[in-house]
Every structure is written in C-alpha cells, then in structure tokens.
C-alpha cells in the first residue's frame, strides 16, 4: 500500500493525520477496520489485542451494544439542541449521574459538572474557571497558571502553555505568565517501582520556590496529571500530591487534577482522587467518560468554586464560556450507557482486583534487552528502553511496529512503551501482552 493505492475505496491523500509522521505512515499504513471486546481487527483481517484501550478511552472494551443502542435512540429522539440558554433533560440527567460517582465521593463536593467536547477543552475550561473564580473572590491579581515539566494537557493554547512537552510548545506562542514545576521522573532513585515510587515527595516544594519567585498573589492555579501518561507513565512519588495540596492551601492556590486518562477506573478506583486520597478543586475528564464512543469531556468543579461564581446580578452570565457541543445529547446518551456498564460490571474498581497480576506480569519483563525500567500502577504500565543516542525513540518505534505485526497494539512515546488496556481484560490477555512484547524486545535487539 502507498499513498496512491486506495484502501477500501479511499485514497490516503486527503486526510491530514494528527500527531503522525504522515509521509512515513502513508508509505506503510496501519489501518484498523473493526473492534470487539479486547481486540481490533486490522484491514487485512488480523486480530490485534488492544493494549491501550484505543487512546486510554475504551475502558469497557469495544463494541458495547448498550452504548450503540443508547446513541441510536438518542439520535432518533433529539439529535441536537442549542447548548446556550436552552437545555435538554439528558444533559441534566448525565450530570446528576456523574455527581453520584464524582471524584472523592460526596464529602469531596466535586459534583458540579461542566461539559466539553474533549480533554483539551476540559483543560482550557478548568483553567478559565480557576481564573474566573479567583477574580470572583476578589483575587483578580491571581492570573498565573502553573503546570509541570513533562505534563500533557492537550493542545489548546492553555493546555500547551501549562504542558511541559517541548514539541508541543516550540512552534507556538504560549499564554503569558505560566511557569512549571519540575517533573518527578527519577530513574536513579526510583527504577522498577511498583505503585508509587519511594523518593521525590520533596519535589512538590518546587511550588514554594515559584511562590517565592512570583508572589502567591499572582498565582491562580496549579494543574498536574496525578499519573502522567502521554510522557511515558510518570507515577507521583509517595506523599507528593498530598504535599502539593498542602502548599496550595497555604497560599490560596487552586489545585487542578487532569484526570483525562486516570478517570473512570484506570487506577482500580473511580478516579485518581480516590486512589491518592487528595482532593483538588477541579478535575478534568474525557476519554473514558463515553468509553471513547462519542467525543466528550467533563470538568468536575467543587461546590466552593462553582458557588463563588453564582452570586452576580440576576440575568448575568456567570461564566462566559462554553461550546456548541457542551452537553451534546448524543454524548450524554453514550455517557449514561457507559456509566451503567461501569456500574453493573464493577469496572471502576476492577483494576484493583487485577493490579497484582498485572504488576507481576509487567515486572517479569525486567532483564529483557534494553529495558531500563518497568513501572506500574493500577492497570497502567510504562516500560522504558535505553535510547539509541543517534536515534531517540527509534527503538521503541521498532518494537511498536513489530508488536502490531504480531497482533498487539502498544503505545510509544519517546523510548517508553505505555500500556492501558481495557478494564475488561483477563489473565490470558495479560499473558499475551507480555509474551508478544517480550518476543518483540528480543527481535528488535
């Protein structure tokens, strides 16, 4: 196949693919035709085990008939309605159902829900809510947003500004007045960590450094991924998030958890908030919200943050922000069906039952060629390979191609392999992942 060769009936010319080396891909395309349960089927009819839940989305597995039925029914009942100054019951219904599983449970009070269309939109929404909140409580000088090195918060201008990936930032200007905490990745001290690594809680004190540098009265919010995924599975050191929360409290800074990948059962708890026992002020989600079936995101806000914005004069719009597709009826239908599946099949906590077997299997890869770290938490794993000095990322990319040919979809970022399979996985799937990856590592070596 090449760019001139039709696949099915389509040429490969017109679609400009995101985050892809388009010319390289189109010279040797990898195309998926269908999916069911734990597996994709490639266009040439091969079964490919989904080691990544698509892109950390499909937590309940592929092809869920209940979601299909809900989407079909909603499309034929109310396909779309204006999202501003008009409502439709299903958006209120979905928000209420989400409030029943909200991060941290009822005591955390994170039960006010703002709907978006994606993770990037959730991030920009949360950053704007943080700024609006500070102004509403008379702290309008707090306009600075703090992110973290090696953080990924989507590709909006807000997200790339607080994000810490140079390739996302180098071509584009950023929001003024952002700054970054150091990342917590430390192979020298924490290699082969099972769960939270031992060392590095003190890195949270970086926030004190930024407070001393900029003045607390200029800082609105800090955003972190509880577990960073896109930059290669970086798990917070024990006590780090607790310490960050305490520093935020001391200085009136809001804490935002970006749970776009950790939300909806990935760590064996409904949210990372529940896993770490740290309650932020805002939580961003997307992906698993609808099992990936319909693009949608949601921001959970604390009642304190929400209520502070509800005191203006009658008729005033409290937050001048939103999307045409906020609370899209079809997304809400998919989301409600997804929540029903999660509840009935216990998927928001199933990861806790499997985490031990998952961890043992992944750590059995230690010692294979070029493996310099294995790290696991919940149903996530990162396997880091030593980079070739002349070609960073090449080794992991070769493993990715080899695995795909042998029927396993993995995700690579730099020379780190990331796993986040659907939460319906069984022991046999875990064994297959380890077997195919192990062989690929030996072959590529």
Binding site for ligand PMP (CB under 6 A): 118-120, 123, 152-154, 225, 229-230, 258, 260-261, 286
Give residue number: closest CB to ligand PMP.
119
Q: Which two tokens stand for residue 366?
A: 């230690």
Q: How far is the CB of 396 from ligand PMP (least distance, A)?
A: 17
- Compute the least distance from the CB of residue 303 to ligand PMP, in Å: 24
Of 39, 60, 42, 35, the C-alpha closest to 50 is 39
Residue 376 belongs to what H/E stretch? strand 371-377
Provide the minimum distance between the beta carbon of 388 and ligand PMP in the complex, in angstroms, as a whole number.
Answer: 26
Which of 152, 325 has the CB closer to ligand PMP?
152
- Furthest-apart CA atoms within the chain: distance in Å: 68
Q: Which is nearer to ligand PMP, 83 or 120 (CB)?
A: 120
* Least distance to ligand PMP, CB of residue 379, Å: 15
Min. distance of Cβ 164 from ligand PMP in angstroms?
12
- The alpha helices in 271-392, defined as continuous H runs, are 272-276, 303-308, 329-344, 347-363
- Rounded CA gap, 287 and 289, in Å? 5
Q: Give kind and range of the element (H or E) at residue 243.
A: helix 240-251
125/230 with CB nearer ligand PMP: 230
Question: Looking at beta carbons only, is 119 or 329 nearer to ligand PMP?
Answer: 119
Closer to ligand PMP by CB, 101 or 127: give it: 127
Closest CB to ligand PMP among 150 and 432?
A: 150
Tokens describing residue 168: 């996302």
Residue 283 Cβ vs ligand PMP, minimum distance, rounded to whole Å: 11
**133/237 Cα distance (integer angstroms):** 30
The angle formed by the CA atoms of residues 383, 198 and 193, to the nearest 5 degrees, is: 20
**Rounded least distance, CB 159 to ligand PMP, Å:** 6
- Comparison of 164 and 268: residue with beta carbon closer to ligand PMP: 164
Strand partners, 145: 178, 221
CB 262, min distance to ligand PMP, A = 8
Nearer Cβ to ligand PMP (52/83): 52
The sign of the CA dihedral 174, 180, 184, 186 is: positive
Pick between residue 245 and residue 266 the one whose CB is nearest to ligand PMP.
266
**Rounded-to-integer distance, Cα 80 and Cα 104, Å:** 32
> Quick check: 197 and 228 in contact, CB under 8 A?
no
- Please give the Cα distance from 167 to 164 (Å, whole number): 9
Contact 72, 293 (CB under 8 A): no
Strands 178-181, 144-148: pairing is parallel
| Minimum separation from the CB atom of position 297 to ligand PMP (A) | 7
């Amino acid at each position: 196949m090449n760019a001139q060769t039709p696949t099915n009936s389509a040429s490969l010319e017109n679609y400009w693919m995101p985050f892809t080396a388009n010319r390289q891909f189109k010279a040797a395309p990898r195309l998926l035709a269908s999916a069911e349960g734990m597996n994709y089927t490639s266009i040439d009819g091969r079964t490919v085990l989904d080691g990544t839940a698509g892109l950390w989305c499909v937590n309940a597995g592929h092809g869920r008939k209940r979601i299909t039925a809900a989407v079909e029914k909603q499309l034929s009942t109310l396909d779309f309605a204006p999202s501003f100054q008009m409502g439709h019951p299903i958006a209120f219904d979905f928000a209420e159902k989400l409030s029943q599983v909200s991060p941290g449970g009822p005591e955390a009070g994170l039960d006010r829900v703002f709907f978006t269309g994606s993770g990037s939109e959730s991030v920009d929404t949360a950053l704007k809510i943080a700024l609006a909140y500070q102004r509403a409580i008379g702290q309008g000088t707090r306009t600075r947003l703090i992110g973290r090195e090696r953080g990924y918060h989507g590709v909006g201008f807000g997200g790339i500004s607080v994000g810490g990936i140079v390739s996302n930032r180098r071509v584009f200007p950023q929001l003024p007045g952002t700054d970054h905490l150091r990342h917590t990745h430390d192979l020298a001290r924490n290699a082969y960590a099972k769960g939270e690594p031992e060392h590095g809680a003190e890195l949270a004190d970086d926030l004190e450094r930024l407070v001393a540098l900029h003045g607390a009265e200029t800082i609105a919010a800090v955003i972190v991924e509880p577990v960073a995924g896109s930059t290669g599975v970086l798990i917070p050191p024990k006590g780090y998030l607790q310490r960050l929360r305490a520093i935020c409290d001391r200085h009136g800074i809001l804490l935002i958890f970006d749970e776009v990948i950790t939300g909806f059962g990935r760590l064996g708890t409904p949210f990372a908030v529940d896993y770490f026992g740290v309650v932020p002020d805002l939580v961003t989600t997307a992906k698993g919200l609808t099992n990936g079936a319909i693009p949608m995101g949601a921001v959970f806000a604390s009642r304190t943050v929400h209520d502070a914005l509800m005191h203006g004069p009658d008729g005033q719009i409290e937050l001048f922000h939103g999307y045409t597709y906020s609370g899209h009826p079809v997304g809400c239908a998919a989301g409600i069906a997804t929540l029903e599946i999660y509840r009935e099949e216990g998927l928001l906590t199933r990861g806790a039952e499997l985490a031990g077997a998952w961890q043992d299997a992944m750590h059995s890869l230690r010692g294979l060629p070029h493996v310099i770290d294995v790290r696991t938490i919940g149903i996530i794993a990162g396997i880091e390979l030593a980079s070739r000095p002349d070609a960073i990322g090449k080794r992991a990319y070769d493993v990715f191609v080899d695995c795909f040919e042998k029927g396993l979809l993995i995700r690579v970022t730099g020379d780190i392999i990331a796993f986040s399979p659907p939460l319906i996985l069984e022991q046999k799937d875990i064994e297959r992942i380890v077997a195919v990856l192990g062989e690929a590592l030996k072959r590529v070596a």
